[in-house]
Amino acid sequence: MVDVTVEHDDARTGADGAGGYLITADGVDKVFSTRAGDVHAVRDVSLSVRHGETLGLVGESGSGKSTMARLMMGLMPPTSGTITFDGVDLSAVHGREMRRLRARMQMVFQNPYGSLLPHYSVSANVAEPLRLHKRGDKESRRKRAIELLTMVGVNPRFADHYPRQFSGGQQQRVAIARALALEPKLLMCDEPTSSLDVSIQAQVLALLDELRTSLGLTLVFISHNLAVVERFADRVAVMCLGQVVEIAPTEVLFDSPRHPYTQQLLAAVLPVTKDPLPAPATPWQPRAEVLPLREVAPGHFVREA
Amino acid sequence: MATITEEPAATAGVEAGEARSHWSRAWARFKANRLAFVSLIFCGLLIVTALAAPWIAPYHFSETDPDARLAPLGTEGHLLGTDLLGRDIFSRLIYGLRTALFVAFGAELASLVVAILIGLSAGYIGGRVDQGLMGITDVMYAFPSYLFAIVLVTVMGRSLWAVMLAIGISSWVTQARLVRAQVLTVKEREYVEAARSMGASGTTISLRYILPNAIGPLLVTTSFAIPAAIGAEAGLALLGLGVQPPTPSWGSMISEGTSYILAAPHLLFLPAALFALTLLAFTWVGDGIRDAFDTSGEDR
Amino acid sequence: MSPSLEVEGLRTEFGLRDRVLRVVDDVSFTVEPGQALAIVGESGSGKSVAMRSVMRLLPKTGRIAGGQARLGGTDLLALSERQMRKVRGRDIGMVFQNAMEALNPTLTLERQLTEHLKWHGICDHAEAKRRAVETLGDVGIPEPEKRIRTYPFQLSGGMRQRAMIAMAMVTQPSVLIADEPTTAVDVTVQRQLLDLLAELKARGTGIIMITHDLGVARYFCDDAMVMYAGRVVEHGPIRRLLSRPAHPYTTGLFESTLEVGARQRALLPIPGSPPDLAYRPTGCAFHPRCGRAEERCGREEQPLLPWPGHGEVDLLHAGAGPERNAERREVACWKAVEHG
């Protein structure tokens, strides 16, 4: 099943050489065994994210993008293939060492209320990762939590309130503050604005944009919203049925998509100021087998269709 | 409940209210329920009385007054009368209360501990551990509880501990299932995954993240299990399976009382009334707790 | 020809423990046959409650405090519950965001589709079944004769959404209320579903679409009504509204919306968040978040007024065809009305 062709090996190494990457997935497969049989959630995915870069991961439900996020975070082991974070193979580290590594990669979830502890105040929520990693004493942790809350735009006056007392947008700010508490290098954002209202979505995106510049964060930004990814990512990977069908620098992908699925996805978007693109006459039918990924232009990889 | 929003809105009259935890909200709702609150005060008084029984009761429960057998209500020195052996009814009621509450709280506390241990391990670890523990639980569930009590009392003798164990054993089974079900739900919450991604260990997750959020419904069932256990204690005593006489139990007092219903009706009615009142008060407290934790109809 | 739905001065209140919240305040609109109206707003804007008021499907704490909703001469708000039950499903259909909660998981599609027709006494069983199969085919469910015997959970998300639309379509209602019908589905499915609803529109059904997605509104609807904190802030033809928003909130929504292929357009978030209705700001409810607000905005209630005001002509669209009622634009902002 793992199909390591010369072409797709290039996707990993790229121009900067292996040293420029913070996180790399190489030929990753993930199979879930269920009562109804095996589900191949991720197939032959090779991705890499440079230091300070934002990689957008787009796809529809069931494309495997969220599974990919959890694999890259080391929250579940891949069935085959390797994931390397900052030069360390995640499958080789366990227990305490793994937990230490996780401090450097943090996650922002789709549902902020669900990801915050309901029985902790927001400052306690933000201080929780520091407490888990035994950083500082209670007083200094609280002080740091308040700094972080201020940084993400939550009034410290409300530090002792509980998550449920905040609006969705403010909850997501708290979740971002918590993710930043351990000063991670990588921020994995899984649909961070999908559950928010339009006007609030824009605020949270603006905040993330500001933070990634000021803190020099590396981001993996997962979304089904193409407009958000176009605005936010330096490079974009399109996933469909567990496979990456196309990876390219953002402008290239949006201006000249090569894979029929990417084209179909872009045609499905309903713009606010223009008429939509014509829908393709015959929708693309995915193939059962895994076809090779080819480099069609520097940094632009397309899977055969 | 006001929601904290962005600053401009906040300065425009959105009051965020005070910081209030889950528990303080539940307590506020409980206090607002007058029947439950009065019942809680009554239950508190019962507990204090039971604890202070040796100082409150004018006589020891087995102390007999041969000159005043079957004394009626209002007798000098025996305000609530005496029984066939001349024992002070008031004192025996207080000691009976002590027995009832000791058995009920002891049994429920023990069953709660066992239920949490088993339910949490089964739910959190899952797999074989889950199958094994739930298998045992199911076997226990299928076993008739009174039969179990009879066996236990026969083996261990009619002691306070045997009664406590007999009641506790039939109670932990349902509790453990509830804990497991709760754990399975809470385990899927995003904050548990968030905790893992922050680097929390399994023990930390199960004790600090899962348990506190799984405990609300458990508290509700426990609050209903207590009056049930008080009833069970009296029931066992009524069947002659309760604590060894002369230690008083309302059940055995009621059972004795029925023999003298015409000659001395207060022997029956006093313990029966106190029993009913106690049961009701504890049940109302349970109702109050259930409503306090029921957040349906609120924002979240 | 189906009748049009005319809602006038609708007010809906929710009773809380200690006070009454006005969740929908003085909402008026008309949906003509074959027309689609988008109701745009964020959570808490009252858009869903307004539609549930028309359907008379409010939770126990909700109460319609005033207004009318006329469908072909009958005021729906004045009907008894028994009479209303005949209207629901037959004259007004509803499509929800999540098909899983709208379809009964214990009944096959056949039962759900045909019972609908039989309850309303529209036809007998054989005819009902024929129509059910036909409608399932219409919504693009392959092998409808076979699929009609399946249960909702046996279908994929997109198919389930189609089945729900089929259920709303089978009685050929005069008006269809669609509450975020495509929010839970993938983009590639979204367009197919909208095209499906468009066919219904072409057959003369008036459609009200509740949405927060301006792209969906533009693609599908003729008119749009923007709601904020329970009131209508702007109302008019969707394309004009998007090419030249009049109310600062509409402008804000537009500028908060990212669009594919518009990388250069600035992302300008609206500060703050929608108000808690219990603490509704005085005057124009949007003024605390509005960049153009003046002292007057917090003082005066803002009625919906024709726009452009003072006899000005909307130059962009002057002479855009025969005078249609819906050509009118209205906005609840004195600044927009006075200064354009």
Report the gap between the CA of B290 and the closest CA in chain C (Å).
Answer: 19
pLDDT for position C2: 73
Question: pLDDT grade, residue A73 (50/70/90)?
Answer: very high
Nearest of C329, C330, C327, C311 to residue C319 by alpha carbon: C327
Question: d(Cα A198, Cα C254) in Å, to the nearest integer?
Answer: 9
B31 at A interface, C-beta within 8 A: no
Residue B102: pLDDT above 70? yes
- Matching residue, tokens 């991720």: A42
Which residues, in sequence order, are CB contacts of B259 under 8 Å at separation 6+? Answer: none
What is the distance in angstroms between the Cα of C327 and the nearest Cα belonging to chain B?
34
Q: Measure in Å the smallest separation between the Cα of A272 and chain C Cα atoms.
A: 4
Distance from CA of A116 to the nearest CA of C (A): 20
Question: What is the overall mean pLDDT for chain A?
Answer: 88
Domains defined for chain A, CATH in brackets: 6-104+184-303 (3.40.50.300)
Contact C269 A271 (CB under 8 A): no
Query: Is C272 near chain B, with CB under 8 Å?
Result: yes
Q: How far apart are CA B251 and CA B232, in angstroms?
A: 9
Give chains near C: 3+ CB pairs under 8 A.
A, B
Asked if B199 lies within 8 A of A121 by C-beta distance, the reply is no
Contact with chain B for residue C276, Cβ under 8 A? yes
Q: How far is A148 from chain B (nearest CA, A)?
A: 16
Residues of chain B in contact with residue C275, where contact means CB-CB under 8 angstroms, are: 5, 9, 12, 14
* pLDDT above 90 for C276: no
pLDDT given at position A12: 41
Q: What is the pLDDT of residue A175?
A: 95
* Contact by Cβ (8 Å): A53, A235: yes
Instruction: Report how many Cβ contacts below 8 Å link chain A to chain B.
Output: 99
Tens-digit pLDDT profile for residues A224-262: 889 999 999 999 999 998 999 999 999 999 999 999 999
Q: Give the pLDDT of residue B150.
A: 80
Q: Is the pLDDT of residue C27 over 90?
A: yes
> What are the structural domain ranges in chain C?
32-56+80-221, 247-339
C275 touches chain A (CB under 8 A): no
The partner residue sitting opposite A119, judged by closest CB among B19, B22, B204, is: B22
Q: Which of C49, C44, C27, C40 is nearest to C250 (CA)?
A: C40
Pairwise pLDDT comparison (A127 vs B294), residue with the higher score: A127
- Tally C-beta pairs within 8 A across A and C: 110
Nearest to B213 among A118, A129, A203 (CB): A118
End-to-end CA distance of chain B: 10
Angle between helices B22-32 and B266-293 (to 10 degrees): 130
Please give the pLDDT value at position C326: 45
For the ranges A170-179, B195-204, B224-233, C201-210, the lowest mean pLDDT is seen at B195-204
Q: Which of C302, C307, C304 lies closest to C329, judged by CA?
A: C307
Query: Would you list which residues of chain A are within 8 Å, Cβ to Cβ, of chain C?
Result: 60-61, 167-170, 197-203, 205-206, 224-228, 230-231, 251, 254, 264-266, 268-274, 276, 279, 283
The B residues from 7 to 36 touching C (CB cutoff 8 Å) are 7-9, 11-15
Distance of CA A2 to the CA centre of its chain: 23
* pLDDT class of B241 with cuts at 50, 70, 90: confident
The predicted model scores a pTM of 0.80
Q: Which two tokens stand for residue C94?
A: 């509803």
> ipTM beyond 0.90?
no
Nearest by CB to A269, from C194, C260, C273: name it. Answer: C260
Q: What is the distance in angstroms between the Cα of C284 and the nearest Cα belonging to chain B?
A: 12
Q: ∠C215-C221-C226 over CA atoms, to 5°?
A: 75
Taking an 8 Å cut-off on Cβ atoms, the answer to whether C272 and B5 are in contact is: yes
Among A203-217, C28-42, C261-275, name the one with the lowest average pLDDT: C261-275
Mean pLDDT of B207-214: 85
Asked whether the predicted pLDDT for residue A4 surpasses 50, the reply is: no
Contact C229, C22 (CB under 8 A): no
Chain B nearest-CA distance from A18, in A, is 25
pLDDT value of residue C309: 58
Architecture category of domain B23-293 in CATH = Orthogonal Bundle (1.10)
Q: What is the pLDDT of residues B14-32, one digit of tens each?
A: 334 566 677 788 888 888 8
Nearest CA in chain C to B1: C278
Q: Are the beta carbons of A117 and B209 separated by less than 8 Å? A: yes
Q: What mean pLDDT value characterizes chain B?
A: 81
Query: Any idea which architecture C32-56+80-221 has in CATH?
Result: 3-Layer(aba) Sandwich (3.40)
User: Between A100, A109, A162, which is nearest B190 by CB?
Assistant: A109
Cβ within 8 Å of A, C 134-173? 157
Instruction: Give residue B47's pLDDT.
Output: 92
How far does C60 lie from chain B, in Å, by closest CA? 10
Provide the pLDDT for residue A3. 41
Q: What is the pLDDT of residue C239?
A: 92
Concatenated DSSP letters of chain A: -----HHHHHHHHTTT-GGGEEEEEEEEEEEEEETTEEEEEEEEEEEEEETT-EEEEE--TTSSHHHHHHHHTTSS--SEEEEEETTEEGGG--HHHHHHHHTTEEEE-S-HHHHS-TTS-HHHHHHHHHHHTT-S-HHHHHHHHHHHHHHTT--GGGTTS-GGGB-HHHHHHHHHHHHHTT--SEEEEESTTTTS-HHHHHHHHHHHHHHHHHHT-EEEEEES-HHHHHHH-SEEEEEETTEEEEEEEHHHHHHS--SHHHHHHHHH---SSSPPPPPPSSPPPPPSS-PPEEEEETTEEEE--
Helix, strand, or coil (residue C87): helix
Q: Are the Cβ atoms of A75 and B213 closer than 8 angstroms?
A: no
Is residue C275 within 8 angstroms of chain B, CB to CB? yes
Residue in B1, B4, B5 to test binding to C, most C beta-carbons within 10 Å: B5
CB contact (8 A) between residue A227 and residue C259: yes
Categorize the per-residue pLDDT at A10 as very low, low, confident or very high, splitting at 50, 70 and 90.
very low
Q: Is the pLDDT of residue B7 over 80?
A: no
Judged by average pLDDT, the poorest of A216-220, B166-170, C332-336 is B166-170
Stretch 212-271 of chain C: residues touching chain B, C-beta under 8 Å:
271
Q: What is the pLDDT of residue C320?
A: 45
Between the two ends of chain C, the Cα-to-Cα distance in Å is: 38
State which of A280-289, B197-206, C51-60 shows the largest mean pLDDT. C51-60
Q: Is B295 on the interface with A (CB under 8 A)?
A: no
d(CA B296, CA B291): 10
CA distances from C2 to B22, C31, C85 (A): 52, 11, 19
* Band of pLDDT at residue B4, cut at 50, 70 and 90: low
Does residue B189 sit at the A interface (CB-CB below 8 Å)? yes
Contact C272 B15 (CB under 8 A): no
The pLDDT value given to residue C327 = 66
pLDDT higher than threshold 60 for residue B12: no
Q: Span A261-272, mean pLDDT?
A: 91
